[in-house]
Each structure stands twice: as C-alpha cells, then as structure tokens.
Amino acid sequence: MIGLFGSGAMAQPGPVSLSAVTVRATAPERFGAGQKLQRIDSAALGQFRFQNLSELLMLQTPLAFKNYGGGQIATVSFRGTSPNHTAVLWNGINVNQPMTGQTDFSTLPVLGFDQISVQYGSAGSAVGSDAIGGSLLLRTLPDFAGVGLRPTAGVQIGSFDNMQVQAGAQYTGQTTEQGQGAGKTVVYSNTFNNRYPYRERGFYYIEPTTAYQQGLMQDLFWRNRRGGQWSLNTWLTDYAVTVAPADTLGRERTRTQGYRTQLSYEADRWTLRVGWLRDVLDYAKRDFSRPSHSLTDRLLTRLEREFMHTTANGNAWQVRLGGEVVHYRTRVDGYGGQLITENRADLYALLRYQTQRLTVSANLRQGFVTRFDPPLTPSLGADVRLVQRERVGLTARASVGRSYRVPTLNERYWQTLGNPDLRPERGLNAELGLTARFQPSPAWQLTSDLTAYRNRIDDWTYWNPDRGYRVENLQQVLARGVEWSGTVAYGQGRWRAGGRVGYALTRSSQLLAYNAYARDIVGKQLPYVPVHNTSLMAYGSYRDVRLTVQSVVQSRRFSTFDNSQSLPGIVLTDLVLSAPLKLGPVRARLQGQVNNLFDALVLNVKQNAMPGRSFALGLVVGN
C-alpha cells in the first residue's frame, strides 16, 4: 500500500503540484435537464449507515416499496411502474440482476456510497435499458484532500437479536512526482435472527425468517501528473435468507452472491471503462443440500469522448459521444441448464447547452441486442431560471423522452413459461416542474418543488394467468401523477432545525387491452402502487446532538389486478437520537433509534404482519 499511495518519508521535498482532475457527473445528472433529481443529504446517509437503501428511500422519497417480510426482498416502484423499470447505476454501470431485471434494495448498504441520487422519470437516452420509471445513482468519490489514514468502525445491536457490524478506512497518500493515490475500504456483516416475542399481530401471522449478509467494497484511485485518473471499484456481496427455518417441510432458502468490479481511466476528455459482473442465485425448498443454481456473467467495455466549448459571452456547449458493448453468459437450471450467450451494444450522443438562464439537453441512443430490435430513444429537456436573485430563485423545467426495456432472461428463457419472441417494452415520458427557493434571512431557507408527469408504456410484459402464466406482451399502461416537496432549514449559532414534506399522487393503470382477459382490468390501479404517498421529516440539533423524527403515510395498496383485494394503508414513524462521545483522542458517535414508534400494524406482500415497535443502539468510532 505504501508503494501505491506514498508516504511522508518517500515524498519529494517541497510542494508538488498535479494537474486538476475533474470528477465527471453521471450522464443522468449532467445531461438530464428538465428532469427531477433528488440528492440524499449527507446527514441522512450518516443516520442510516447501518440500514439498507429500501429503509432510507422509503422515508426520504415518494417511492413505493414491495416488502416480502423481515430480511426478505424489497423492490421499488418508481412513479407507478414495476420494479424492473428502475435502473440502478453503480458508478455508471447498471447492476440490475439480468435474470429478473431488478435489484433487491434490501441488499444495498447505505454506508458503501459517498453519493446517492434519485433521478425521476425515464432516462433511456442517457442510461439505456430499464430506466423507464426512474434511476438510482450510487457513486463512490475520491478524496485527495486529507493526507493520511482515517479508520472507522461501528456496531449496532437491535431488537429481536439482530446485529450489524461494519469497519472501514479512507486513505490518501502524499503527492509525489508520479502522482497521488487515494482509496476507501468498507466491510460489513449483518445478522438478522428475527427472534420475535410473538407469532402474530392483529390476527395476522408473522413469518419467521433469518438472514445473514456480508460484503466488501473497495475503491482505489490514482491521479498522475498529467491530469489522468485511474479508478478501480470492487463490490462483493453475499446474502442468505431462510424462511420458516424450523419447518423442515415448508422452509425456503435463497442465497444471492454478487461480484462486481470495474476499472476506468479518464484523461484528455476520454474515458475508458471495463467491467465484470457476476450474479449467483441459489434457491432451495425443504432440502437445502440440492439448490436450484443460476449464474450470469457480464463483461462490459465502454468508451466515451467529451467535447466542450465556451463562447465569448460565457455560454457553454458540452457533447459526450460514446459506445458500450456487453457480453452476457448465463447458465440457469430453470432454463434447462444449457449455456446461453447474448451480446448488447449501445451508441449514444449527449448534448448540453448552458447560458446564464437556460440549460438544455438533447440526447440520442440506439441499442443493439441479439435477436432484438430496441427502438431509437431520443430525449429533450430544459431548465429555465425565471428568477435569479440572492434570496429568491424560481426555475421551470420540462422534458420529454422515450425509453425501453429489453425483456429479462427469465421472461425469455424460463422453461415452458418463457417467451423468446417477446418485444421490448417502449415508454414515452413527459414532465413539467417548478422549483422555488426563498431565503428571508441568513438564518432561514425554504424550498419547494412541484412536478407533474405522464408516462405511457407499450408492450408491458405480463405473466398471463389466462395462458398458465406464460409471459406475453399484453398491456399498455399509463402512469401519471403529481409530486410535491417542501423543505425548511434554520440555523443560528449552534442551533439547527428543519424539516421536509413530500407528497406523491400516483395513478397507474392499464390503458389498452390486448386480449379478453386483460379487458377486465382496464382502468384499475396496478397492484402495490399506492395512490397517495406522503413522507415527513423534522430534525433539531444543538451542537452535535441531533433528534430526528420521520414518518411515511401511504394509502391502501391493491394486491390483485382487478382491485378486489387490498392491503391496508401504512403509517410508520421512526425516532432517531444521536450524540457525539469523547473516547480520549478518538471521535465517536452514539445513536439510538426507535422503529415503528407507534407500533402500527403493517402487512407485507405475502399478507403477513411485519414486526412491531423495535429498538436499536449503535456506536460509530473514528472518521
């Protein structure tokens, strides 16, 4: 490590200057003018460091999650779309599981990422397949500023005999004539025994489960004297869930393993990225010694070139041209066990134009997939700064764009039920928004954001019960809605206080029937998509002692396509109190948390009760 990052003894005498390295924004952020983007603040990331992304985003955003039970799968619905209409990008690479086309958010640890952003609406032209409802952007960033080693460790003990342990370090080397290195290492281990003191709540059964999760995230960065930067990112995960472990006849075990690594080099506005991703899934029922096995590998190469020009009056043009090739290799017991290969490629051109009051983006992407013909996906968006004053700001935005989704491997190759003749889904998204900022005094700041959207998806794939659950392109779905959020922040001396309110009205229903069965559900709200979703958060702090209250309120969710059955609405409230500790020269922070403060009854997708009120106590040392 000393050879890579340098040391004080080996550094050259006197200051050494390196050419600046520009950390580029991801394509949805930089070329997504006209679209809503929400960046999760650092205080929330610190507060949720022991939790997963489904728990963070459920309370911080208007996203709706399908939860299958304690320690089990949690999938997301963006603006009334399905879980496989969400692209999850890890440092720019889509990490959705190729077999299912979605990501289990319960396996994504908050502590592993330096920046988490939520991009609402379709971003097919900037991202590619899957980004029909929205995208989640996960990034790790280099820190070349603070030289030295900064270790950290944490443990949280919670109700039901659950425990989480994590450790890590950030490190930055001295600047030498050759360059400078930096990096971050995070390891974590979570054990959920879920020993509930009750077997049912409100006459609803609580399904016993155990879960074990461990992972490693390693990020290394090196910048040379000419302004080039190397980045090596690795993310390993292992997650095992056992349902009804004491029932030898009904027990189930699912184990997922992920191996993800990517190497990139940026220099002279060129970016070359290569990556390897492996997804392993083992599922067993009753007899755990002979699980059904699935393995998929992806090999990725991406090359991009940026062109920038600033006019004499300060207007800026930016163009990003790129191409990507991905090779898939999969062997799944459910497909018959044979090796299946597939190649995908993308060519894209992204344009951004910015003046003092106007930002415009115009993007174009063409995908190529073995045995498929993805549509051309253009998009156009603009932000117009209507008012720009020191204490008042008002910005209007608008965007329209196409998107698409290539059917998953399961949808095409699953024995008997799969359909290799499926067509790619196609979406058309349009949205309008207005953002306001007001600072009546140096101590106060208020913001408000209002968005209306309409997203039509054609050839929505559907496991058709009328055909024995064979997959078909059966639906045309229309998702439309309104989102509003408002924030207030106050700071005076050592006092800090603030809050956030978010509300989403979502109507998502089948617009057109392709067969006789589907006609019965035209106009009905799609399952597990709440019409009303509200999130609230309030905090207050003195010095470094912080108290936070956060709630989510959701209307009932239908559990059937004909809306004949439903799950009751949700009202969940959490309370968090954190304070610094002095352990000699070492910095530390103690955090206590009450989940489901009012012991509300919540049902999961399986119509089973979720656990009631629970407590957790965590300690973080260092960094």
pLDDT in tens, 299-330: 999 999 999 999 999 999 999 999 999 999 99
pLDDT at 520: 77
Nearest to 422 by CA among 373, 476, 479, 467: 373
**How many other CB atoms sit within 10 Å of the CB of residue 201?**
19
The predicted model gives 335-345 an average pLDDT of 94
pLDDT at 9: 36
pLDDT-derived band at 483 (thresholds 50, 70, 90) equals very high
Taking the C-alpha atoms of residue 272 and residue 296, their distance in angstroms, rounded to an integer, is: 23
Say yes or no to pLDDT of 54 above 90: yes
pLDDT at 5: 41
pLDDT-derived band at 14 (thresholds 50, 70, 90) equals very low
Spatial neighbors of 473 by CB under 8 A, at least 6 apart, are 422, 423, 425, 459, 460, 461, 462, 514
CA 94 to chain CA centroid, nearest Å: 10
Tell me if 535 sits within 8 A of 64, measured CB to CB: no
Say yes or no to pLDDT of 19 above 70: no
pLDDT tens digit string along 152-194? 999 999 999 999 999 999 999 999 989 999 999 999 999 999 9
Say yes or no to pLDDT of 92 above 80: yes
Q: Which two tokens stand for residue 407?
A: 């059917």
Nearest to 342 by CA among 297, 290, 390, 403: 297
Q: Which domains does the chain have, with CATH numbers?
A: 2-622 (2.40.170.20)
Tell me the average pLDDT of the chain: 91
pLDDT tens digit string along 506-536? 999 988 776 666 677 889 999 999 999 999 9
Taking the C-alpha atoms of residue 584 and residue 622, their distance in angstroms, rounded to an integer, is: 11
pLDDT tens digit string along 367-392? 999 988 899 999 999 999 999 999 99
CB burial string 400-436: b at 16+ within 10 A, e below: bbbbbbbbbbbbbbbeebbbeebbbbbbebbbebbbb
Spatial neighbors of 313 by CB under 8 A, at least 6 apart, are none
pLDDT at 93: 95
Tell me if 66 sits within 8 A of 96, measured CB to CB: no
pLDDT-derived band at 17 (thresholds 50, 70, 90) equals low
Q: Is the pTM of this model over 0.85?
A: yes
pLDDT tens digit string along 255-296? 999 999 999 999 999 999 999 999 999 999 988 888 999 999
| Sign of the four-CA dihedral 469, 471, 472, 477 | positive
pLDDT at 7: 38
Can you tell me which residue has the tokens 């073995």?
370
SS3 60: helix
pLDDT-derived band at 560 (thresholds 50, 70, 90) equals confident
pLDDT at 473: 87
pLDDT-derived band at 23 (thresholds 50, 70, 90) equals low
**How many other CB atoms sit within 10 Å of the CB of residue 246?**
9
pLDDT tens digit string along 440-453? 999 999 999 999 99
User: What percent of the chain has a predicted confidence (pLDDT) above 90?
Assistant: 78
Tell me if 212 sits within 8 A of 190, measured CB to CB: yes
Give the angle 343-345-350 at the CA atoms, nearest 5°: 165
pLDDT-derived band at 2 (thresholds 50, 70, 90) equals very low
Say yes or no to pLDDT of 224 above 50: yes
pLDDT at 551: 96
Say yes or no to pLDDT of 199 above 80: yes
pLDDT at 124: 85
3-state percent helix, strand, coil for the chain, nearest multiple of 5: 10, 60, 30
